[in-house]
Amino acid sequence: MSRLAESGFEIPPVYDASSGAEDLQARLGEPGEYPYTRGVYASMYTQRPWTMRQYAGFGTARESNERYHQLMSHGTSGLSVAFDLPTQMGIDSDADRAAGEVGKVGVAIDSVEDMAVLFDGIPLDEVSTSMTINAPAAVLLLMYQLVAEENGISTDKLNGTVQNDVLKEYIARGTYIYPPAESLRLVTDVFRYCQSEIPRWNTISISGYHMAEAGATPAQEIAFTLANGIEYVRAAVQAGMDVDEFAPRLAFFFVSRTTILEEVAKFRAARRIWAQVMKEDFGAQNPKSMMLRFHTQTAGVQLTAQQPEVNLVRVTVQALAAVLGGTQSLHTNSFDEAIALPTAKAARLALRTQQVLAHETDVTATVDPFAGSYVVESMTDEVESLTRRLMDQIEEQGGAVQAIERGFQKAEIERSAYDVTKSIEDGSRVVVGLNRFTVDNDERYEPLRVDPAIEANQSKGLAALRERRSNDDVRRGLDGIRRAAEGTDNVLPPLKTALAARATVGEVCDAMREIWGSYEPFENL
């Protein structure tokens, strides 16, 4: 009896050469060579493992800083910052719209001074930092740069990634600020700015993770992500940039589910498609422009609040899929994340999961361990075919932005999410501890709780900041932002000037709101 893959194709009980996996060497090439199906680097993990990141941030900058130091002491090789919702929306902690959300799903950052506390005692020229921030990505990146400069660190030594992927916000998350055209301009301004100012920085992490968490299948995840990537590349080229100037700093972000074989196939298909798009459609010459380098996070949506310790098993399986698929960096979710923000112990266990895979198994001993597998090679072709079909549908609508405005991607994801929910409810999809193998009296778990006083303390800090700074300098800085936003100059230099004068996240984002307006979602569905 055959079974359907998450992307919808049939998985036969037996694969063999007739499944289309013959003549593999000629089709696949070598690891580290075009079309990069087998990995973007020739040696992959045989020389050193992937970067082990732990996504963290909650409450105040000081509390998050303490968690970062704990993670680094346990062997984390890269930091990944979670920001609270007001920060993600470009709103200060003392604004009415921030009420009840300050410090809840990430750290509250209102000014450069908060950013300085967040990274206190952390060598920014030695650590790689990823920041999950989108609409105000330029603002938080400039704050990071200012903290480095104010500590005497040369910004050509800064290494990391800013997510900066606003298109998926219109599809799956909703933390957008400006309309799509203005958002794309801000993205390309970051590309151009980092070329000269922060050359080692990955200027965007084009994300499928959030679409997958909203219900996208593996094929939909990479189709919609790569389509967004194409839109960013087009915008940069139309702004006058040469593709080989900025494409080597593009990065991607995907989910890793418990379906190991299909996930491995998904990652391999995504690399192959992106390499061909960059070479054939955009004329890239630099091999680094064709490499799809990506970060992976294990699937939070698959974690359960029931019997949370079982999530340790799920996360291990998901992490293994990411490693076998050739990820460049990895965050493993904590087992208690379906209940609340992770405790320190849970975060440490999540990191230990990666360390066991890296140091106690043999998955790092050879490159692309599943290469030549009838199953995985056939699945890679299946996922690629479905992905290209979806990408063609997006192109027929005029590209990712036009498809977003028609609600195409959102509607496709919602249909897939509905199918998954229905299959869990009718029992045809087994979720251990939720609809099968349940227990009557689950052990009580004490979650991490955020101090409700954080909101008041952040507001007091903002009031004190506004008292001691030069408000004349801030006003001049904000005027500079407005002038740049009205014209065609890069917005980042005046943003940096205003932030250095201690303008707040909300103030600089509002200056751009005044010129560009705010995005109103479509209402035609």
Contacts of 296 (CB under 8 A, 6+ apart): 253, 254, 255, 256, 322, 325, 327, 329, 330, 331
Return d(Cα 467, Cα 469) in angstroms, integer: 6
CB 194 within 8 A of CB 203: yes
Residue type at 417 in one-letter notation: A
pLDDT at residue 293 greater than cutoff 90: yes
On average, the pLDDT of the chain sits at 94
The DSSP code for 291 is -
Using left for φ > 0, alpha for ψ between -120 and 50, and beta otherwise, residue 40 falls in alpha
Q: Quick check: 20 pLDDT over 80?
A: no
The neighbouring-strand residues paired with 206 are: 252
What does the alpha-carbon distance between residue 226 and residue 277 come to, in Å, rounded to a whole number? Answer: 9
Q: How does pLDDT run across 178-197, given as a tens digit for each residue?
A: 999 999 999 999 999 999 99
pLDDT at 41 over 60: yes
pLDDT band with cut points at 50, 70 and 90 for residue 514 = very high
Residue 343 carries which DSSP code? P
* Encoded amino acid at 294, one letter: F
What percent of the chain has a predicted confidence (pLDDT) above 70? 97
* Section 59-64 average pLDDT: 93
Residues 463-498 have pLDDT tens digits of 999 999 999 999 999 999 999 999 999 999 999 999
Collapse the DSSP code of 79 into the 3-class scheme (helix H, G, I; strand E, B; otherwise coil) and give the result: strand
- Tally of residues, the chain: 525
Q: What is the mean pLDDT of residues 46-60?
A: 90
Average of pLDDT values for 378-391? 97
How far is 290 from 33, CA to CA, in rounded Å? 10
The pLDDT value recorded for residue 525 is 39
User: What is the DSSP pairing of strand 204-207 with strand 250-256?
Assistant: parallel
What's residue 421's pLDDT? Answer: 97
The predicted model gives 386-410 an average pLDDT of 97
Domains annotated for the chain, with CATH where assigned, are 50-422 (3.20.20.240)
Res 180: pLDDT:
94
Q: What is the pLDDT of residues 133-169, one digit of tens each?
A: 999 999 999 999 999 999 999 999 999 999 999 999 9
For residue 416, what is the enclosing H or E element?
Answer: helix 408-425
Please, what is the Cα angle at 373 between 371 and 376, to 5 degrees? 85
Average of per-residue pLDDT across 206-231: 98
DSSP assignment letter at 107: B
Task: Tell me what pLDDT residue 23 has.
Answer: 62
